Structure 1
Amino acid sequence: MSLFSTIYKKELLDSIRDRRAIMVAIFPALIAPVLMAGMFHFMINTQVSTSEITVQIIGKENAPDLIEYMEERDIKFSDYEGNPKEDIKNKDVTMVLEIPEDFEEKFAESNSDTLHSCGWLIK
């Protein structure tokens, strides 16, 4: 048993003297929490809150219930007149919601075309 303990002590001392091996063992354990905290901090600070959203809208009168529902969730709307594709391409506006005149009828029917009856344009 003394031979085993002698070899164990020798290897342990050699491992302690080897700074590279210690760094490989300890460095990830020290750096990982710092990196995770940094990533969570970055994600929290870059999250967009709905209170900051202002949506340019065409055809607001075509879906008053939808507009009321979204306004209850602090989404602000402003009427939009213009060419949405060009203005988004030129970065004059961030997003435009276009609601067609037959939106409520299509929504009441609830067919597969309902998804395409309301168009978002986002840069």
Structure 2
Amino acid sequence: MIRKFKAADIETIQQLNRDEGWDNLVVRHEQTLNSWLGSEAYVIEEAGDVIGCIRALTDGHVSLYICELIIRHDQRGKGYGRMLLDHIHSLYPTTRMELLATSSSKSYYENRFRPFYGFRRTYHE
């Protein structure tokens, strides 16, 4: 079942972040929580357990940017990531969906997205 993110979900999401090695999100706990509260954010549950999540930013018309998509390691390959991507895109069907992929997740997205070139910079760089 896909449902809206609730603040109580943050501990599970932080565990998923830890499992992915996204320690910067874990260390910046308050900022991470506030980012989830201020975004289009959803979780997917199986038997009452959160097994994945997606967080996005959108203008509602043209752009839909996927910030995070995580599926618990033991639940991968079952279509949950695709369900979350399809769900959030169905809420904003006129938008183009964009995301960044890591080198390890690149193969997951190659069949559904076209590559494009971009840049990234944090505030202190």
Same fold (TM over 0.5): no
Q: Which is helix-richer, 1 or 2?
A: 1
TM-score (norm 2): 0.23
TM-score (norm 1): 0.23
Q: Which is strand-richer, 1 or 2?
A: 2
